[in-house]
Structure 1
């Protein structure tokens, strides 16, 4: 593989994305515009951004590994995400928007009290930085393995690039680059799939030569109980994770929030099939590889010529930066809005808050890089991802979601349930196996991790007979907020200007991406027509945001 061409492709796309982020440096002048897009982000952009925020190179490493080893069950696992999104769309996303809060932490403070908020903020920031540091590692590993760069400096460079446009441009910078990243990734995978199918001898040859049980809906340790538990987990995760809540609160209405989640769910019905077929087909091509986590990389290196391999690596990196950037933006929002503004400097000016917002983005980003650097000493990607899910999802996400609907849940009970079940999950995962001599399987870990907090919340709901004092205080707070003045005409105009600018940048970015992909169609030694066709598709897609921007009337 000619790594020089691939390196040029990666550098050009990366510089382009960084430049896009810098274009939004002056559009976010206050917290609402910087962290919530003025609460007027178009729902299709919010939905695509949510999709990319959920996605990372870990998808190719973790689920690609399962696809190579077990087959179709890797698609079944990802369909649980569509289940979670659909439930969120009809029951949770509109509810979050109706709270009127900028962040989930702000809702927790108003509904459950400042003590609960402080505890949740500290845990959320720690878990977020760790979990997103985990997803930075595999993409650095992929780039290093493909282009021969050393791992540590590659991780640092990729991490700093990721932080730069988030710290400067805020939510709109994240979402615009999310859209571009989605298109680049889609283009890369649409090229990989037919080339892999050809290498496998065609669809019929793939089906005939696949291992026994390879097309089973459930397989290996990923049985029906695991899928049910993972579906429930994703209801809590997609419906309650603070990163995703921001996508529901940044649109204009509860109906738009519902559409954001519906679009995410629809994409997660289709996309896993497209993503997982290449490593599944690679099982037929080469069934002997031992390092299953690199199966996706191996198949890409086998079928992609120079230039297109760089495009695929760029897509993998961008997908990782999308999920990490969203977490950076939300972590910074939580720190700025819910710690600095609420607890440290309530009288802070917009200029001071924006300075803190950008500095905190850098601080949390550096934390992610440090975590990514120590991942090799922790264990495999699949184990880390699923362990974080089983330990933290129920204790951290279930109580705030319950509080959206319950009048009886108090801040004190919330903390008791969260801390006790979090400690219990850590004990069952880390200490119990050493004492008892055996460990629970993945399905059992997931069921207990989510089921026990849910059961305790249900018991509290049945035992308590009247609304909690925290809920009554929350009602008073919301009544006072509803009586506050509407946004000024100047603020409304600023939001419209920002949204129109964002849509135009998206259109221009897609057109530029189409040009670069079209140039690759001349350079590549295979799949020329396919690559050119993808370029035309991207160019046509650029028309959609361009037309949408023309519909925004600034002075109406």
Structure 2
């Protein structure tokens, strides 16, 4: 990597940090720090949801599958499009109507504190594991590109991420997510044509690809796996506490619908564009094996990007992939402050709770770093992500989400179903292979993971409807929600405009950086310059649209 690339990484890192840290004084209370005021623009929330989910595996997990299996990686990600659309129509508005700051708060309101307490412990345990698994790909990208040992990368990046997440709160997460979306979209639109040109065009790519490279499914990732994984994605995106935050932080149920629809629309288009570089690299270099294919995405970028652009692409990948980390750190800290600490000290001031949230972010970040350092000893990132997904997705997130729609489920029923499902899934994953020499393939793991809680919830629903159990708990919940809905709510129009202006400045600055790189580079200059102009214009438009200040009003209805 050239000195110019390293310089670009440093400049881009400073830009992201300045954007994130500019919100250091915005977290005056829990709602502003963990929900961005509760009236986040739907397009910001939707793009942040996309980046939070998209970035967790695109470059390493799905990039690895795209290199080794081809079109299968695109088919897998297309299931997320269907999930997003269903969530937009039916589930996201339900979450917004709960008037809860976190999913844990909804569980307390709907199912009781004792139920929430156990779910919180389970969520934090699983989140620390998965967040560590998401930090690992960030460090992997740096290792492939720069040669810096992965352990060093994990520690340094983990510290940087936890600092700006602890300081800026949800606004820092949202703004950096949207900035990464623009940066990486611009970068990949440069990488794809240069990659195709490197191997002689689309015709050569198709003709030289391995046999069955464009098959929709294969033996390991079958149609059965796709359907089960699609259901898992539905439950995970709709019920994961970190993603629920994106539905509850917007102003209206209609906005929450738009968040889900935007997520689904982006996953209709993005898989094809994003998976082409590692697929093309398979034709260019078919020799990667073992865990080496996890670096296929960056290796393709190193082959074709002009000087400086590799640094920008790497910086964008690092901070975009870290989106899953900072998102989960933010909501986990919010749960600790709002739903654990506040329960024991209900009279604690908002300022003090924000301080608790910040220190919780730091503590959780340190544990995340430790987990990430252990990922290579767990069979690689693909194995870790798929295993955790199969075991926890349906069991953890579906039962509480079911209670959004059912008046018959109780705290005891959803908690029992979650625990039994986790035990069954864990048995077949960890105990059965060694004890009985019986193991499940990926599709069977996914079906078991989503099937067990669905069947148990359905059976209890039938039983409860005949016995009319749980209705009193639901009626109490309805009264509580009505009370929350009637409370005065501060509009955050000024905060939204400020956030959009920060995004606009970041986007325009990135466009200027692209224009400078087009002048320095010797290849692809017209492509880079054209993209730079478009990005500058986009950033300028965002700044212009949000340049007029508006008064903060209060809704007292």
TM-score range, shorter chain: over 0.9
CA deviation vs aligned residue, 1:369-391 (integer Å, no higher than 9, x gap): 11111112111111111101100
1:49 corresponds to 2:48 = yes
State how far apart, in whole Å, the 2-side matches of 1:211 and 1:424 are: 39
Matched position secondary structure for 1:542: helix
- Alignment CA distance shift 1:484-1:110 (3 Å): closer
Matched position secondary structure for 2:322: helix
State how far apart, in whole Å, the 2-side matches of 1:417 and 1:551 are: 52
1:517 corresponds to 2:514 = yes
CA deviation vs aligned residue, 1:305-356 (integer Å, no higher than 9, x gap): 33111112112101122111111111111111100112x2111011111110
Does structure 2 conserve the Cα–Cα contact (< 8 Å) formed by 1:144 and 1:154? yes
Q: Which residue in 2 is equivalent to 1:501? A: 498
Q: Which residue in 2 is equivalent to 1:28? A: 27
State how far apart, in whole Å, the 2-side matches of 1:486 and 1:543 are: 39
Q: CA deviation at 1:484?
A: 5.8
- Alignment CA distance shift 1:317-1:555 (3 Å): closer
Does structure 2 conserve the Cα–Cα contact (< 8 Å) formed by 1:80 and 1:231? yes
Q: Which residue in 2 is equivalent to 1:417? A: 417
* Aligned counterpart for 1:554 among listed residues 536, 551, 556: 551
State how far apart, in whole Å, the 2-side matches of 1:97 and 1:57 are: 24
1:363 corresponds to 2:363 = yes
Q: Which residue in 2 is equivalent to 1:380? A: 380
Q: Which residue in 1 is equivalent to 2:352? A: 352
Q: Which residue in 2 is equivalent to 1:407? A: 407
Q: CA deviation at 1:288?
A: 2.0
Matched position secondary structure for 2:167: helix
Q: Which residue in 2 is equivalent to 1:81? A: 80
Q: CA deviation at 1:238?
A: 0.9
Does structure 1 conserve the Cα–Cα contact (< 8 Å) formed by 2:56 and 2:324? no
Uncovered stretches (5+) of structure 2, i.e. residues with no partner: none
Q: CA deviation at 1:50?
A: 0.6
Q: CA deviation at 1:145?
A: 2.6
1:38 corresponds to 2:37 = yes
TM-score (norm 2): 0.96
State how far apart, in whole Å, the 2-side matches of 1:57 and 1:94 are: 25
Q: CA deviation at 1:525?
A: 2.7
Does structure 2 conserve the Cα–Cα contact (< 8 Å) formed by 1:133 and 1:370? yes
State how far apart, in whole Å, the 2-side matches of 1:143 and 1:467 are: 57
CA deviation vs aligned residue, 1:243-264 (integer Å, no higher than 9, x gap): 1110000001001000001001
Matched position secondary structure for 2:126: helix
State how far apart, in whole Å, the 1-side matches of 2:437 and 2:479 are: 55
CA deviation vs aligned residue, 1:89-142 (integer Å, no higher than 9, x gap): 111001101111111111111111112101110111111111111111122122
1:436 corresponds to 2:436 = yes
CA deviation vs aligned residue, 1:520-545 (integer Å, no higher than 9, x gap): 11222321111111111211222443
Does structure 1 conserve the Cα–Cα contact (< 8 Å) formed by 2:133 and 2:371? yes
State how far apart, in whole Å, the 2-side matches of 1:486 and 1:480 are: 10
TM-score (norm 1): 0.96
Q: CA deviation at 1:492?
A: 2.4
* Aligned counterpart for 2:490 among listed residues 470, 482, 492: 492
Q: Which residue in 2 is equivalent to 1:339? A: 340
Q: Which residue in 2 is equivalent to 1:295? A: 296
Q: Which residue in 1 is equivalent to 2:312? A: 311
Q: CA deviation at 1:474?
A: 4.1
Does structure 2 conserve the Cα–Cα contact (< 8 Å) formed by 1:103 and 1:334? yes
State how far apart, in whole Å, the 1-side matches of 2:92 and 2:481 are: 21
Does structure 2 conserve the Cα–Cα contact (< 8 Å) formed by 1:226 and 1:443? yes
Q: Which residue in 1 is equivalent to 2:531? A: 534
- Alignment CA distance shift 1:498-1:436 (3 Å): same
Q: Which residue in 2 is equivalent to 1:111? A: 110
Root mean square deviation, CA, Å: 1.6
Does structure 2 conserve the Cα–Cα contact (< 8 Å) formed by 1:332 and 1:361? yes
Structure 2 counterparts to residues 80-479 of structure 1, below 5 A: 80-290=79-289, 291-342=292-343, 344-464=344-464, 465-469=466-470, 471-479=471-479
- Alignment CA distance shift 1:58-1:454 (3 Å): same
Matched position secondary structure for 1:405: coil
Which is worse superposed, 10-19 or 143-152? Answer: 143-152
Matched position secondary structure for 2:84: helix
Uncovered stretches (5+) of structure 1, i.e. residues with no partner: none
Does structure 1 conserve the Cα–Cα contact (< 8 Å) formed by 2:144 and 2:299? no
Which is worse superposed, 70-79 or 308-317? Answer: 308-317
Q: Which residue in 1 is equivalent to 2:66? A: 67
Q: CA deviation at 1:57?
A: 5.9
Does structure 2 conserve the Cα–Cα contact (< 8 Å) formed by 1:71 and 1:214? yes
Q: CA deviation at 1:429?
A: 0.3
Matched position secondary structure for 1:404: coil
- Alignment CA distance shift 1:474-1:513 (3 Å): same
Matched position secondary structure for 2:546: helix
Does structure 2 conserve the Cα–Cα contact (< 8 Å) formed by 1:187 and 1:534? yes
Which is worse superposed, 182-191 or 229-238? Answer: 182-191
Does structure 2 conserve the Cα–Cα contact (< 8 Å) formed by 1:408 and 1:466? no
CA deviation vs aligned residue, 1:32-79 (integer Å, no higher than 9, x gap): 111111111110111001111112263111111111111111100000
Q: CA deviation at 1:486?
A: 5.2
Matched position secondary structure for 2:522: coil
Matched position secondary structure for 1:25: coil
State how far apart, in whole Å, the 1-side matches of 2:181 and 2:235 are: 24
Does structure 2 conserve the Cα–Cα contact (< 8 Å) formed by 1:407 and 1:467? no
State how far apart, in whole Å, the 1-side matches of 2:140 and 2:215 are: 31
- Alignment CA distance shift 1:94-1:390 (3 Å): same
